[in-house]
Amino acid sequence: MKEEMDFISKIHILLLVKLLWGHKPISIKWIFRIKETQDKHTKYKASMVVWWCKQKTRIDYNNTFSPMAKWTTIKLVTTIVVVEGWEFHHMDVKLTFLNGKIEQKLYIHQPLGFVIQGQKWLIYKFNKALYGIEQAPK
């Protein structure tokens, strides 16, 4: 959990602020997973996720559409690359959802165990998307 909070802090997903009047913080939850690495080591992973069912349409978000490539398009482009003998590079973007910009003002309480001493009355405002936010795919 500490690694996740350190990473969220490092890429400035959350900003500590006063809650604006008329806004209500949405809920978060922690998701825990056990992963095995290629060398058979066990790795424990924790992810902070927004509880999506707590967001309200037209209040917390307006649009969630995100254009996606269809498999037929990917197959067509791959075929053209092979036929023409072009060089082809594949890229996997990790943490894509954590780089999405959000337009609405969304807030969460400081997670238990990570409350900053002397500032426990402040809450976090989202600068970027986090897993579970409805508009993250956009």
3-state secondary structure 50-95: ECHHHCCECCCECCCCCCCCCHHHHHHHHHHHHHHCCCCCCCCCCC
| Domain count along the chain | 1
Position 30 in a domain: yes
Q: pLDDT tens for residues 49-92?
A: 876 555 555 554 555 555 567 889 889 999 999 999 999 887 76
Q: pLDDT tens for residues 114-129?
A: 888 888 888 888 887 7
134: confidence class by pLDDT, cuts 50, 70, 90: low
Q: What SS3 state is found at 5? A: helix
Q: Show the domain range for 113.
A: 2-66+92-126
Identify the residue with better confidence: 136 or 25.
Answer: 25
| Token code pair at residue 112 | 């238990």
133: confidence class by pLDDT, cuts 50, 70, 90: low
Position 104 in a domain: yes
Position 117 in a domain: yes
Position 13 in a domain: yes
Q: Give the pTM.
A: 0.60
